[in-house]
Each structure stands twice: as structure tokens, then as C-alpha cells.
Structure 1
């Protein structure tokens, strides 16, 4: 396999674009080469197969969609209350909206994982790791609610992001006067997160 980190990263990002636009069936090495603007056959020199490309795309998307450490540090200077949880959820929504292509590629990877057991195993491990990390962060930050709160936030925000990025008209007008997605983020947080963090 060829070792050129910059070229490999460009091919992975090209794969993200193809996957988000064309779906898993359109994710071929030829399509990735075309998207990256490189000679046909380049991607096959960097990846042993589609599964390896998908695994590297998963890792790359975690980087692309990760919170900005400076934003997290600034938010952590605030009181550890429900409002702070809301700020973190708004940041999550903002990141997904800014990198819509990346988030759509993640959704396509979920669908592809239902058809490929080997991908399902690695992707499940990746998502479980994200959830466990979120729980640990919530606990260590002293935010209100426990692990169950984080799980429900995860599920609710996943649904909101899915609708907002794929079928935004479903939510438009669902709650008259509500701004989508901002007011819905606030509704999720106020419904799920307790006012005070219960004593352990």
C-alpha cells in the first residue's frame, strides 16, 4: 500500500463526498478517484477494499464532526446546569449542520453496516465508544442528570438531526411558532435534563 498521508486523507474525504451524494452503491474506487481528481486506480493503491475505506472514513468523520476543544473549554467556564447542556446540544446541531455532507455520510454508513456484518461490528464499537465517552464527559463535568439522561439526549438529538438534514419540512410547522431546529433543541433539553444534578 502506498504511504502518502496527505493523498490518503484527500481520498478519504473524497469518499465521504461520494457516499453522502451517491449512497453506498455509488462508493467505488473509480468514483473516489474521480471525486479526488486523481488518476483511475489511485484509491486501490491506498486501500485494500471498500471495508478499509469505510473504516477510515468513519475515523475521519469522527475528526471532522468532533467538538472544537476551544469551544468546549469556553463552555465549561459556565455554570454546570441545564442551560449548559443546551449549549452543548446546540453546538452538536451546529456542527452537524455545518458539515451536512459528513453527517449524511455517517447516516449512509449506518445503513451500509446493516448489510455488512464486518462493518457493523467495527461501526457498533465506534458508536458505543462515542456514547460511553459522552456519558463519562457528562459525569466528570458535573452536568445535571446521569447516564440515562445522556442516552435519551443521544437518541433525541439523533432523531432531530436526521429530520433536520434529510426531511426538514416534516418538522416545519409541527409546533406553530417554534424555530427549527433551535427551539426543538431547547424543548429536548428542557424535557430530558433535570434542573439540578441529583446527588449520587
Structure 2
């Protein structure tokens, strides 16, 4: 397999666009070559088979959706309050909106995993580690609330993002995304969690 990291990243980015636009049935090595504007057969030099490409696409979506470290450091200079948690959830939505293709590609990978046992194992392990990492990070940085609250917020945000990224006209006033997040965080973590202003 070829090792040109820039070319591999470009092919994976092309695969993400194809997957988001055409779904998993449209994701072929030839379609990736066409999307990346490279000679036919190029993708087959970088991916052993379609399953290998799907696994690498999964990892690439996470790279693309991971927030910038400097932006995170700046955001986390604020006091650890529910207001900060609300801002962090808005940041999540903003990142998904900014790279909707990666979000939709990940949704397609989830669906494909229901049909491909090897992808199911890979994706489940990957997302389970990510989920556990979120809980650990929440504790390490001293955010309010407990592990169950983080799990509930994760599930609530997952549902919100599905609607916002696929059928955004569902979430309109008075149930627009901003108002839902502002209401969701304190309800999930409970009114018993003090805010810095209290």
C-alpha cells in the first residue's frame, strides 16, 4: 500500500464527500478516484479493500471533527459552570455544521455497520472509547455534574444532531437548537448543580 500521507488524506476526504452525498452504496474505489480527481486505480493503491477504506474514513471523520486545541484551551479558561457546558454544546453543533459531510459520512458508517460485522466491531470499539473519553475528560477538567449526566447529555445531543444535520426544519421556534441546548444542560445535570453566579 502507498504511504503518501497527503494523497491518502485527499482520498479519504473524497471518500467522505462521496459517502455523505451518495451513501454507502455509492462509495466505490472508482467513485473516490473521480471525486479526488486522480487517475482511475489510485484509491486501490491506498486501500486494500472497501472495508479498509471504511475503517480509515471513520478515523478521518474524527480527525476532521476534532476541535482545534488552541480554541479548546481558550474556551476552557472560563469557570467550570453550566453556562460553559452550554457553550461547549453550541461548539459541538457549530463544528458539525461546519463539516456536515463528515457528520453525514459517520451516520452512513453507522448504518453500514449494521450490515458488516467487521465494521460493527471496529466502529463500536472506536465510539465506545470516544464516549468513555468524554466522560473521563469531563471529570478531569472539573465540569459540574456526574457521569450519568454526561451520558444523558451525550444521548440528548446525539438526537439533536441527527435532526439538525439531516432534517433541520424539524427544529424551529420555539424548539430551535439554541433554546433546546440552553434548556437541556441544566435539566440533564439538575438544578442542584450550582452555577458560578449563584
Deviations 1:128-180 (A, max 9, x none): 1111110011101111111111111111101111101111122224xx3x4x2
Q: After superposing the two structures, state which structure 1 stretch, 91-100 or 188-197, moved more.
A: 188-197
Answer whether contact 1:82 1:194 (CA < 8 A) is retained: no
Deviations 1:65-87 (A, max 9, x none): 01221121112211111111111
Answer whether contact 2:3 2:46 (CA < 8 A) is retained: yes
The residue number in structure 2 matching 1:167 is 167
Q: CA RMSD in A?
A: 1.2
- Cα distance in 2 between the residues matched to 1:138 and 1:145: 9
Count of residue pairs brought into register by the alignment: 193
Query: Is 2:131 the partner of 1:131?
Result: yes
The residue number in structure 2 matching 1:158 is 158
The residue number in structure 2 matching 1:105 is 105
Runs of 4+ aligned residues of structure 1 deviating over 4 Å after TM superposition are: none
- Cα distance in 2 between the residues matched to 1:107 and 1:3: 28
- Cα distance in 2 between the residues matched to 1:66 and 1:4: 22
Structure 1 spans left out of the alignment, 5+ residues: none
TM-score (ref. length: structure 1): 0.93
Structure 2 spans left out of the alignment, 5+ residues: none
The residue number in structure 2 matching 1:182 is 178
Deviations 1:97-155 (A, max 9, x none): 11011101011110001110000000001101111110011101111111111111111
The residue number in structure 1 matching 2:27 is 27
Answer whether contact 2:146 2:189 (CA < 8 A) is retained: no
Answer whether contact 1:144 1:194 (CA < 8 A) is retained: no
SS in 2 for 1:10: helix
